[in-house]
Structure 1
Amino acid sequence: MSKFLKGTLILMIAGLITRLLGFINRIVIARMIGEEGVGLFMMAFPTLVLVISLVQIGLPVAISKAVAEAEARGDKRKTKKILAVSLTVTISLSLLFTPTLMLLAPYLAETLFTDTRIYYPLIAISPIIPIVAVSSVIRGYFQGKQNMRPAAIAQVLEQAVRIALIAILAKAFLPYGIEFAAAGAMIASVLGELASLIYLFTVFKVKKKFPIRRNFFKSLRSSKSTLKELMSIAIPTTGSRMIGSLSWFFEPIVVSHSLLLAGVAAGVATKQYGLLTGYALPLLMLPSFITFSLSTSLVPAISEANASRNHKLVEHRLQQALRFALLTGGLAVIVLYVYAEPLMTLMYGSPKGYEFIRLMAPFFIFHYYQGPLQAILQALDLARAAMINSLIGAIIKISVIFALSSQPSFGINGAALGIAAGTVLITMLHFATVLKKIQFTIYVAEYVKFIIAAVLSSIIGTLFYTKVLIESPLVTRLLIGILIIVITYILFITMFRLLKKNDLLRIPIINKMIR
């Protein structure tokens, strides 16, 4: 099995475990601090993501690409320079932005978010910035070597530590108020990331081929060309990510102010935003661990193939990624749309927010495509084009959110439609950009077959849940219903030859079973 598929498979397994652990984490938070507490958590979180984007300035992707190319040439000295430069830049920026966030927290909470309670989660999460700065460099190094195992284990470890502490800390702070309980949940996140960093650094020290002493950073004197090379990839890349982070940063601000114009009080707006982004969106994002795994593996794999001018392999990787994204994302959309209400009831003890899933699920097939397409653009040195696409999508998203959410007839549903509109537009623009660079065949018949398979599976799943299993308990109905959809979906895509035998044979376990 190739490094690309092996790395993707490792990240997919780790991603699945991480997402499941993350769901347990969110369920604990939701049940302990409620919709309002989750709303405070989710309103503060985009600010953190924005600051981390400023600190990383796109270096993780640049490191992954540069290390992959250096490894292809067998240049160990170059790899050492890449790490020295990256660590110096990210640590310096984290020491600048961490105190800046702490100083600006009162202004952000009172003026921009219209809810002063967000101050406490913002202060609690600030120490995570330097931790993420260092761990992102080490992750990029391992990804560049196409060794996905350390990053995968670190993800699982982070979530495990977070879950172990979140209930304790949230419960300990809850008597002081919901805002302090949300801050406790943030502190658990910081400690989880710290555990992940300790593991990554330990593995790095064992696996590295060069010493980490004072002379490690002496190479900075002759590393201007390395810095320039990294920045030529990182700046356009961070431009794309920065646009996404800025968009996410402004999203809760625009939502809170537009809902205020629609006559919704600040406390109610926080609850509604918590339902959308803390309850519904995580469920919609759950399948993206597959596309995230593909994206992470695609950057070094396509960079290496492109550096070797192996255009046939580049197209092959692209077709593989898009097919996996379509088939896995399609199954997720069906399950989420059909069983939105019982899934929310089972996980959070209430069906509140299931309308958002029903509204957004059909559009999220584009979200599962977006990650691999953006990774391909970065690997092909088209990060600038990805940045422009992201900017256009972000402007449309924020505009739609404000235009619709400020209308009483739409309210918070306007925010959901705005997020969906931005997702669809960015994905379509990425696809058009890739199509200009790589000449590859679009199999229209396969997409038609996929739609037929998805519709038939949805109908069968709905009939079983509403007619055949009507007398069964909720958990039984849901598990059997999902199983029916999965079986029928696999049967249809196999019958339509959308799932190819060659793809299955590349996975060792399935290979052995077939043999």
Structure 2
Amino acid sequence: MSDSKFLRGTMILSLATFMSKFLGMIYIFPFAAMVGQQGLALYQYGYTPYTILLSLATLGVPMAVSKFVSKYNALGDYRTGQRLFRSGIIFMTLTGFAAFLVLFFAAPIISDWVISNPDDIQGNERGDVVFTIRMVSVALILIPAMSVIRGYFQGFRSMGPTAVSQVIEQVVRIIFILSVAYAVLYIWNGDLGTAIGFATFGAFIGGLGALVVLAVYWKKRKGFIQKQVENSVETEPIPLTKMYKELISYALPLSFVGLAIPLFQLVDMFTFNNALIASGGFSQGEAETAYGAFAGSSHKLILIPVAIATAMSVTLIPTITESFTNKNTKLLQQQITQTYQVILFLSIPAAAGLSVLSYPTFAVLFGFEDMEVGGYILRYYAPVAVLFSLFSVTGAVLQGINRQRYAVVSLVAGLIIKVISAYPLIYIGGPAGASFSTLLGFGVAVIFNMWAIGKFTDFEYKNVGKHFLFISLFTVIMSAAVLLVKEGAVTMFPLQSWGNAFLVELFSVVTGAGLYFILSVKSGLAGKVLGDRFTILKK
């Protein structure tokens, strides 16, 4: 395959990954309208431990298998890659089944941890939590083995199978989730626990859709791959133990860093309700509503600016790797500077805007029933978007300069801070305490990553600091203008109907986005940060 086709395939895969994540964020709006914040809390009880075990079962396998197969294919040894493929499917099926058993049988224990007051009839029942966790656990039997197939195709520099299967998996999953929730609640008049349990089964249904896509691709390309294997150079067979040792060395750091957000969410899942109830100000039902607004609604919202900022900056990571390998220090400094600038330029104003407009934003997207608690939580959780973005990108830069273990160390340090601070901050500060503990944990992790980048690349933060000051200044001006427009709009359109909330949001967003754009373009900041992408901004 030519380099141009490989580059096109990589771009398609990046676009598909972004589209898959974006779909995974926006479906929460209609879903929340059906099940409410308490339903989202129950949904998170299943999906959070599922995400952790899925990551542990797959261990970043797609990228690791891709790297392994690509390495030996380049040597003409296609047979070694095929041996890994065949044994890998068996091995990942076994690890997936083991993860399924762990989650399935641990469901009652997890339910006891998150439902501390089962006598509260307004809260979710323990039985519903067990049912939800067990329904989503079935997907663990299927998904890990698919990661080997995707990685094998990528090892042949074929990104289409992974890209298409990812999108189809997400589309099928979302259609199933929304359809089954609507059917259970509004056609069959079922209860919320049944609707959420069957909705989480969408992970397995989506996996089946992706498997069908991969099977079609395999049928088309099996002959070509087998021909390559038959023409493979003769080498001494590598022992499976050595193969898996090499594979794990690729996969483990990537897998652990990818677990950052789910691990923080797991800490919140086990502390949020318990701390609020212990504080004496919340019942089980009220605590779960707040948890749904925090871990479900608000979390999905802040991931939108994170996804956009990260998508625009990670395109620089391959070039950072090349510059570091070639010891082109000057170019490396420029690329890291631009990476930081893109992240800060996009994420800081987005987070500030979400914080200032938390109440009308929550009302427009999730309704008025829980607007007070949801808007309050979003106000304090929105700034976390900046740290999520920075951790993702600094971790990728460390990967690009072959210092992945420092990203792992930073995550462990941040996680320890989160574990220590979560319960007391929630107990003292209420629902916003979870945001404060996440800010502390990710703040420590990001600072450590930035220090490591500076140490191993001799990177100087002076230029980044100067642009950070301009971005902060423009964001403060923008936020003040948005606040004035919002307060004025609310007097004319009280937040008592969806139409009024939408108008308040519209006027405020147009004001904020327009003012930030004008300030950044007129000052030349936008041209410096985004000039290579949007050359018109340099003029």
* TM-score normalised over the length of structure 1: 0.85
Percent of matched pairs sharing the same residue: 24
CA separation in 2, counterparts of 1:359 and 1:475?
21
Of 31, 36, 39, 1:37 maps to 39
Aligned-partner SS, 1:406: helix
Structure 1 residues 346-495: aligned runs within 5 Å = 346-350=364-368, 351-352=371-372, 353-407=374-428, 410-442=429-461, 443=463, 444-467=465-488, 471=492, 473-495=500-522
| Aligned 8 A contact 1:457 1:488 in 2 | yes
Q: Deviations over 1:395-428 (max 9, x none)?
A: 1112211112233xx2222222112222222111
- The answer to whether the aligner puts 1:122 opposite 2:133 as a matched pair is yes
Aligned-partner SS, 2:458: coil
Question: In structure 1, what is the equivalent of residue 52 of structure 2?
Answer: 50
CA separation in 2, counterparts of 1:285 and 1:219?
48
| Aligned 8 A contact 1:143 1:297 in 2 | no
CA separation in 1, counterparts of 2:431 and 2:387?
22
Of 98, 101, 114, 2:100 maps to 98
Residues 202 and 318 of structure 1, relative CA distance in 2, 3 Å threshold: farther
- The answer to whether the aligner puts 1:273 opposite 2:291 as a matched pair is yes
| Aligned 8 A contact 1:461 1:484 in 2 | yes
CA separation in 2, counterparts of 1:224 and 1:311?
38
Q: Deviations over 1:145-171 (max 9, x none)?
A: 777665454443333223322232113
How many pairs were matched up?
A: 509
| Aligned 8 A contact 1:84 1:220 in 2 | no
CA separation in 2, counterparts of 1:135 and 1:289?
24
- The answer to whether the aligner puts 1:21 opposite 2:23 as a matched pair is yes
CA separation in 2, counterparts of 1:330 and 1:5?
31
| Aligned 8 A contact 2:34 2:181 in 1 | yes
Question: In structure 2, what is the equivalent of residue 254 of structure 1?
Answer: 271
Aligned-partner SS, 2:225: coil
CA separation in 1, counterparts of 2:6 and 2:459?
20
Q: How far did residue 452 of structure 1 move? A: 1.4
Q: How far did residue 268 of structure 1 move? A: 2.7
Residues 380 and 242 of structure 1, relative CA distance in 2, 3 Å threshold: same
CA separation in 2, counterparts of 1:282 and 1:150?
27
Question: In structure 1, what is the equivalent of residue 344 of structure 2?
Answer: 326
CA separation in 2, counterparts of 1:496 and 1:98?
55
Q: How far did residue 310 of structure 1 move? A: 5.3
Structure 1 residues 83-232: aligned runs within 5 Å = 83-84=85-86, 86-111=88-113, 113-114=115-116, 116=126, 117-140=128-151, 151-174=162-185, 175-203=189-217, 206=220, 210-211=225-226, 222-232=239-249
AA paired with 2:440? A
Residues 268 and 313 of structure 1, relative CA distance in 2, 3 Å threshold: same
Structure 1 residues 57-76: aligned runs within 5 Å = 57-63=59-65, 65-66=67-68
Q: How far did residue 133 of structure 1 move? A: 1.1
AA paired with 2:146? S
| Aligned 8 A contact 1:69 1:303 in 2 | no
Q: Deviations over 1:421-476 (max 9, x none)?
A: 22222111111112211122321211111111211222233333333796464324
**Higher CA-based Rg:** 2
Q: How far did residue 368 of structure 1 move? A: 1.2
CA separation in 2, counterparts of 1:223 and 1:38?
43
CA separation in 2, counterparts of 1:446 and 1:5?
31
Deviates more, 1:424-433 or 1:155-164: 155-164
Q: Deviations over 1:102-148 (max 9, x none)?
A: 12222222355545121011111012213331333345456677776
Deviates more, 1:10-19 or 1:86-95: 10-19
AA paired with 1:125? V
Q: Deviations over 1:246-290 (max 9, x none)?
A: 443332112232223213333332222111111111111112223
CA separation in 2, counterparts of 1:150 and 1:512?
36
Deviates more, 1:112-121 or 1:342-351: 112-121
Residues 434 and 138 of structure 1, relative CA distance in 2, 3 Å threshold: farther
CA separation in 1, counterparts of 2:450 and 2:288?
35
Q: Deviations over 1:77-126 (max 9, x none)?
A: 66556645644442221122212221222222235554512101111101
Aligned-partner SS, 1:211: helix
CA separation in 1, counterparts of 2:32 and 2:52?
24
Point out which structure has higher relative CO (alpha carbons under 8 A, 6+ apart): 1
Residues 513 and 404 of structure 1, relative CA distance in 2, 3 Å threshold: closer
CA separation in 1, counterparts of 2:512 and 2:13?
25
CA separation in 1, counterparts of 2:221 and 2:228?
15
Residues 198 and 49 of structure 1, relative CA distance in 2, 3 Å threshold: same
AA paired with 2:388? H
Residues 82 and 38 of structure 1, relative CA distance in 2, 3 Å threshold: same
Residues 470 and 10 of structure 1, relative CA distance in 2, 3 Å threshold: farther
Deviates more, 1:107-116 or 1:67-76: 67-76
Q: How far did residue 226 of structure 1 move? A: 3.3
Q: How far did residue 244 of structure 1 move? A: 5.5
RMSD across aligned C-alpha pairs, in angstroms? 3.8
Question: In structure 1, what is the equivalent of residue 496 of structure 2?
Answer: none
* TM-score normalised over the length of structure 2: 0.81
Residues 501 and 163 of structure 1, relative CA distance in 2, 3 Å threshold: same
CA separation in 2, counterparts of 1:146 and 1:320?
28
CA separation in 2, counterparts of 1:398 and 1:142?
39
Q: How far did residue 179 of structure 1 move? A: 1.3
| Aligned 8 A contact 1:256 1:269 in 2 | yes
Q: How far did residue 292 of structure 1 move? A: 4.7
Q: How far did residue 514 of structure 1 move? A: 10
